[in-house]
Amino acid sequence: MKIYGNPFSTCTRKVLATFAEKGHTPDLVVIDLAKGEHKSPEHVARQPFGQVPALEEDGWRLYESRAIIRYLDTVLSGPALIPSDARGVARMEQWISVESANFTPGAMKIIYQTVFGRWRGQTPDMDKVSEGRAQLIRALDVMDRALAESEFIAGDQYTLADICFLPYLEYLEAGDEGDTLATRANVSRWWTAARARPAWQKAIGK
């Protein structure tokens, strides 16, 4: 099973973390984003939107990180990352949707400016950072209320929903948003525990 991706990519990190939680190591084929390899005809044949990651297994292909991690939990041995009951699955799916629609758009506005932009030597556009922060704060407040009632984001089991948020939190903290996270006690407690998991440390190359 090959994963075509980049270890600095947020979506690739979701996949790497899922492999690690399941106790497996993927065959990672690094796609150099700086060189535009994700837009090459060869890669677009795997991922028609020219993004990472993409999975290839025995000639079968799958793209979109959230689809890939669901597939991995189904086919790989190891601890289950999807609940076994219908309500647990529904709650997990709810939070994956929150991550995709309500959390990540704001988070990525900040990350593009304060992390990726700085890597390119660019000065952050603080108007865009402020715009992203306004979106992010609303999502964080909803998360904080939910985490007041459970250990993990979707309940008392660590699931794919938790994994989906981690890459963005890692980069938000690196981009000077640590105080935004720390002032929400339940989010801070959850993030402190989640970031210390060996699987996440492996996913980010620590």
pLDDT digit string (tens) for 164-180? 999 999 999 999 898 99
197 and 139 together in one domain = yes
Looking at the structure, do residues 126 and 178 belong to the same domain, yes or no? yes
* Rounded Cα gap, residues 180 and 84, in angstroms: 34
Residues 98 and 197 in one domain: yes
Residue 150 sits in a domain whose CATH number is: 1.20.1050.10
Sheet of 2-5, strands arranged across: 27-30, 2-5, 54-57, 60-63
**What is the predicted pLDDT for the residue at 176?**
86
Do 53 and 135 share a structural domain?
no
161 lies in the same domain as 183: yes
Quote the percentage of the chain above a pLDDT of 70. 100
Question: Using CA atoms, how far apart are residues 81 and 155, in angstroms rounded to an integer?
Answer: 12
Structural domain of residue 30, as residue ranges? Answer: 2-75
- Distance between CA atoms of 141 and 152, rounded to whole angstroms? 15
